[in-house]
Amino acid sequence: MSPTLRRTLLWTAITAVVFAGAYWIWRTRAQSAATSTMAADMPGMDMPGMPGMNMGSDSSVVLTADQIRTFSVTFGEAAVRTMSNVVRAAGTVVVDETGMVQVAARVGGFVEKLHVNVTGQSVRRGQPLLELYSPELLAAQQELLLAADLQRRILGSNVPGVPVETVDLVSAAKQRFNLWDISEEQVEEILRTGRTRRTMTLFAPASGVVTERSVVQGQAIQAGDMLYAIADFSRVWVEAQLRGVDAANVRVGTRAEIDITGLTGRSFSGRVEYVYPTVEQDARTVRARIVVANGAGTLKPGMYATVLLTSSAREALTVPASSVIRTGERNFLFIDLGGGRLRPQDVQIGVTSGDDTEILSGIEAGQRVVTSAQYLLNSESNLGEVMRSMIGMGGATQASGGAMEGMDMTGIATPKESGATRAPDSVPPRQRR
């Protein structure tokens, strides 16, 4: 064997021995730490100098004053407090449906001229919308003039058997124009001048903004055709999307504070006018309608909003919200029994408002609860349960005549005794001398 190969094999053996020694040192320390943790609940185990927490027989954790400071354990108190259910939800500004008006044709004809020809244009009640030429309207005007002339002749004659006071042919003719939505001023102008008009004017029935226009100049229209849609933006709706858990806390009359995205530093207020009885299939939310005054026109349909809904205040037993641990299957917290002893306690919770959570059952007013480091305490408590289960298994073995009288974890086999790693075995058999 060459000197180079001999040195290589020697360094390989030394490296293997070093790694094996390091592994067994780490394993010895790990087993010692586990043994120290078990010694608190398992009699017969000698683990002096244990630095961890002590476990009580009722899943409680016992801490010293130094451990409380080290783990930053803080406490709060269960007390009866005034709760205002505050629900935070996303919302959208939409058009107030009660302020929407459609202008439809009552009579057929042709659009001679459009006075309002742009979508988004603001109109006021009584403003001209379009000029309509209609053969039917023209014939009605001629009949109106004939009725007026005939009525004048009847009133000026003394025909026997005709009561003069009951003759009113003009009123019957004017009623037709009223049904066609022709203004009374235009009818009176026809009677005053005695001449027919080629076109009649249609006026806006309400003030607002034109949100839809379905007619152009020169278009032929029929009775029933929709011409314009007008929406009143002086009052809008904000529809808040409520989660199922929050919907029960929102009712008609609930006060709402609204912040609009893009309008920094401004907020709006309103009250819930209606809570929809159905659930949105896509978002699985319930809509709540809030009426908001919008005289200045600042709010525009389509804007996003953040809504804070505040219901009436009430008295309830509460704890700090940070003290409750929610696992999905149960809700519990740690209560202070005195002397550093902390015990987990199942509770039934209600609503959470701000920093407080309502407690329906499980604890009483005046009890101290842990508000920080709960998850560390919970892990120690669960470890104590596991140790007690192991103790129960050991007791059953002793009762049945088992040979296990106790546990001695102070001695750990050396690498040589266990035979796990031997330096000479690291050398291949063909290379040994």
- The pTM for the full model equals 0.58
**Cβ atoms 210, 119 nearer than 8 A:** yes
Per-residue pLDDT tens over the stretch 45-68 = 333 333 455 655 566 788 888 888
Which tokens is 199 given?
A: 């076109």
Q: Sign (positive/negative) of CA torsion 25, 28, 33, 36?
A: negative
Average pLDDT of 320-343?
A: 88
How far apart CA 269 and CA 309 sit, in angstroms, is 10
Per-residue pLDDT tens over the stretch 28-43 = 766 665 555 544 444 4
What rounded mean pLDDT belongs to the chain? 79
**Secondary structure letter of residue 81 according to DSSP:** E
Which tokens is 144 given?
A: 């109106």
Per-residue pLDDT tens over the stretch 246-267 = 888 888 988 999 999 888 888 8
pLDDT band at 291 (very low <50, low <70, confident <90, very high): very high
Q: What is the pLDDT of residue 369?
A: 92
Q: Calculate what percentage of the chain has a pLDDT beyond 70.
A: 76
How far apart CA 244 and CA 89 sit, in angstroms, is 11
Helix (H/G/I), strand (E/B), else coil: 360: strand
Q: What is the pLDDT of residue 58?
A: 60
Q: What is the pLDDT of residue 167?
A: 56
| 393: pLDDT strictly greater than 70 | no
